[in-house]
Amino acid sequence: MQVLQHVFRLYVALDKFEQAIAFYEWIQGLSCERRVHIPETGMDAAKVGGFLIFTGAPQSLARVRDVNAIFYVDSLAAFVPWLSENGAEILAGPRTVTGGRNATVRNPDGLIVEYFEAMR
């Protein structure tokens, strides 16, 4: 059971998406690694280094804006029960989403995190 990577989640208006991608590419000296449309939410996302930038309609962003980070994990099935047993609150999931499976969790300190296991 391991967190493989963690990234900050950012939420921007549709007309600021390209500008935000360019900004985070420049400050990290990296190119955008991946862009994806997320049909279940109607949002688009771009991963640039340690940031996952989301855009979409304001009502779509409002539903997920409280999630502050993503922890990419090796086994969601192992993490979810451990989190519950150690004081975390499972807010949603586990469920199948674009690219894998996730669960939205409020950690014991209050941080809201998407735990995500990529498809293999």
Going from N- to C-terminal start, the domains of the chain cover: 3-118
Report pLDDT for 40. 85
Q: Are 44 and 37 in contact (CB under 8 A)?
A: yes
CATH superfamily of the domain spanning 3-118: 2,3-Dihydroxybiphenyl 1,2-Dioxygenase, domain 1 (3.10.180.10)
Q: What is the largest CA-CA distance in the chain?
A: 42
Report pLDDT for 98. 87
Report pLDDT for 6. 94
Report pLDDT for 79. 97
Cis previous bond, 39, omega within 30: no
Collect the ranges in the chain with pLDDT lower than 50. Answer: none
pTM of the model: 0.84
